Amino acid sequence: MPPPKVTILQEEWERRLHEVHVSKQDLNRLVMDYLVIEGYKSAAEEFSQEAGINSSVDFDSIESRMNIREALQRGDVSDAITKVNDLNPEILDTNPALYFRLQQQKLIEYIRQGRIEEALQFAQEELAPRGEESPEFLSELEKTMALLAFESSPQAPPTISELLSPAQRMRTAGEVNAAILESLSQGKEAKLVSLLRLLCWGESLLEERAEFPKLDLNDGTFSREGK
């Protein structure tokens, strides 16, 4: 039998937390990193000045990334591709998987708009040759083309119908954003998000051995499960 769990009271838990020192400078850098990665240009510029952070960030590139994200979220893939190439043509030239994702999204938008003949021609001319090069690409192409079979039916499997959801556009925009950040030698994900993921992982390990107050990410308070 596993050993009984240790119980850590909230007072003790909070005392241990208060013993951990995090400098204001480190906190400011975390905030700045989040604003840059997530694309809050104005807020990043203001925070950089107020916090006295000497940042080497190209703030204009933040605006470019956000313009590309907005184009994809409204379904204008051609405009997004043009903007990516204007920013750095090597991003798509050196990343065939990302370029395929954008072309796949363009096909989805044709189908969404009911432009079926254009969708079929585009799939045949642009995507089919790439599908022959990669089993992964072929699988994604087949899944996208399955939208045509279910376009007037509510019985489409979730893996098919989700292609028409806003989340699909956001996923594509996220992949493009990550590729741009990588080309700028910046992290693909905000460090704050990584830390929260690490926190959740640490809590899952600790709860195998102890009862302790867990952080509620909705309001930042600690509470025991079920209370």
Q: Hey, where are the domains in the chain? A: 1-57+187-227, 60-185
Helix axes 77-87, 166-183, angle to 10 degrees: 10
For residue 74, which phi and psi values (nearest 5 degrees)? -100, 0
Closest by alpha carbon to 189, among 180, 178, 198, 199?
Answer: 178
User: Strand, helix or coil at 163?
Assistant: helix
Instruction: Give pTM, 2 decimals.
Output: 0.73
Using the predicted structure, report yes or no on whether residue 187 has a pLDDT greater than 80.
Answer: no
Closest by alpha carbon to 128, among 145, 149, 105?
Answer: 145
Kindly report, residue by residue over 31-46, the tens digit of the pLDDT: 988 888 888 888 988 9
pLDDT score recorded for residue 9: 85
Reported confidence tier of residue 222, pLDDT bands at 50, 70, 90: low
Kindly report, residue by residue over 48-87, the tens digit of the pLDDT: 888 888 777 778 888 899 999 999 999 999 999 999 999 9
Q: Kindly write down the DSSP assignment for every residue of 76-94, as one continuous string.
A: -HHHHHHHHHHH-THHHHT
Q: Which residues contact 159 (CB under 8 A, 6 or more apart)?
A: 143
pLDDT score recorded for residue 227: 46
Reported confidence tier of residue 203, pLDDT bands at 50, 70, 90: confident
pLDDT score recorded for residue 189: 80
pLDDT score recorded for residue 220: 62
Is 152 buried (19+), middle (13-18) or exposed (0-12) by CB count in 10 A?
A: exposed
Q: Which residue has the higher pLDDT, 96 or 58?
A: 96
Please check whether residue 77 is in contact with residue 105, taking contact to mean a CB–CB distance below 8 angstroms.
Answer: yes
Q: What is the mean pLDDT of the chain?
A: 87
Query: What's the Cα-to-Cα distance from 206 to each of 8, 74, 130, 202, 209, rounded to whole Å?
Result: 11, 43, 47, 6, 6
Do β-strands 210-211 and 6-7 pair in parallel, antiparallel, or remain unpaired?
A: parallel
Q: Distance (Å, rounded) from C-alpha 191 to C-alpha 201?
A: 15
Kindly report, residue by residue over 98-133, the tens digit of the pLDDT: 999 999 999 999 999 999 999 999 999 999 998 888
4 dihedral zone (left: phi>0; alpha: psi -120 to 50; beta): beta
Mean pLDDT calculated for residue range 176-200: 85
pLDDT score recorded for residue 17: 82
Q: Strands (DSSP E) along the chain, which ranges?
A: 6-7, 210-211, 214-216, 221-223
Torsion of CA 189, 195, 197, 201, to 10 degrees: 150
Q: Distance (Å, rounded) from C-alpha 36 to C-alpha 188?
A: 11
Q: Kindly write down the DSSP assignment for every residue of 55-74, as one continuous string.
A: ----HHHHHHHHHHHHHHHT
Reported confidence tier of residue 223, pLDDT bands at 50, 70, 90: low
